[in-house]
Amino acid sequence: MEWSTASIVFWSCFFSAALLLFLRLIKFTKGSTKSTPPGPQGWPIFGNIFDLGTVPHQTLYRLRPQHGPVLWLQLGAINTMVVQSAKAAAELFKNHDLPFSDRKVPFTLTAHNYDQGSMALGKYGPYWRMIRKVCASELLVNKRINEMGSLRRKCVEDMIRWIEEDAVKSGAEGRAGEVELPHFLFCMAFNLIGNITLSRDVVDSKSEDGHEFFQAMNGVMEWAGRPNISDFFPLLKRLDPLGMMRNMIRDMGQALNLIARFVKERHEERQSGMVRGKRDFLDVLLECRDDEKEGPHEMSDNKVKIIVLVTDIRSLFTLLRFGKKL
């Protein structure tokens, strides 16, 4: 079997890159063992990834008697510190809160700059404090939640009506009255959040857009929760070997497109001077975007869309997972 020139070049580049990665990881590992907590000896390149097993939290608990309440792991190229006692956690948050305030962002959640607009994943700073203040004062206060009581009842009643209508239709078509419960739970929850943030129903259970948006959001939840090798080996991010980033860009982009339509409509209403009866969460975000004190770099249209999407994702996560079990 003869080797072509292209094959020789490809494999030469591949093994050269693998060798450089191996040497770099060894150097990084040796240089990072100074002043670190104790931990189990890891494998070359992969570190302690294979040591975690299928139930990682139980594995970490069994390592505590040997290595203590603070454990150091090497997960691929990522250093990881595990805190497993209330005393150690209290000391960490009391004396080292600021250095450890930022979270490690999964690669898939950087799609469409999602991490930059998310309060859960964004870096601690002026923008993060502004978003926390807005959410705490305009979205999560008891008064605001109590005012939404009638809307919650309306959305639940709509869901029950949709289920009854679909069950009748299913029985008429000979499908024994089966219904797609996750879809109706999704529409109910998303319309509830839509009324709080946008003062309107967002999706119709019978529309094609509603079904496509349900599939897109389900995809976002799947790619966000699935382990990704690129999170442990950042050099593989450009290759995206599992294709998860490509899938996330597609599904999150579809979800953001729907939200973008509502943001654009509200922006046009504000420009035309239309007076709304009551200010909602989207109005507050647009006011922050236009506030000269904050500056245009702090709040952009993309961040407004992401904040609305984050609110929806956090509200829908439990319902989507619950619905899959039914």
- What domains sit in the chain, N to C, each tagged with a CATH number? 5-101 (no CATH), 127-324 (1.10.630.10)
Which of these, 220, 223, 246, lies nearest to 306 by C-alpha position?
Answer: 220
Q: What percent of the chain has pLDDT over 70?
A: 81
Which of these, 303, 321, 319, 315, lies nearest to 119 by C-alpha position?
Answer: 303
Q: Do 122 and 128 contact (CB within 8 A), yes or no?
A: yes
Give tens-digit pLDDT for 175-226: 776 777 877 887 888 888 888 788 877 777 777 777 788 788 888 888 988 8
Provide DSSP, 157-180: HHHHHHHHHHHHHHHHTTSTT---
- Token pair 């496509």 in the structure block, residue: 212
Greater pLDDT, 183 or 162: 162
The radius of gyration of the chain's CA atoms, rounded to the nearest angstrom, is 24
Separation CA 301–CA 117 (nearest Å)? 10
Residue 124 has which token pair? Answer: 């601690």
Give tens-digit pLDDT for 56-90: 889 999 999 999 999 999 998 889 999 999 999 99
Q: Do 217 and 313 contact (CB within 8 A), yes or no?
A: yes
pTM for the full model? 0.75
Cα angle, residue 256 at apex, residues 254 and 258 outer, rounded to 5°:
80
Burial of 59 (0-12, 13-18, 19+ CB in 10 A): middle
Q: Do 167 and 179 contact (CB within 8 A), yes or no?
A: yes
Give tens-digit pLDDT for 267-322: 888 888 776 667 788 888 888 877 755 554 567 788 888 888 877 666 555 444 44
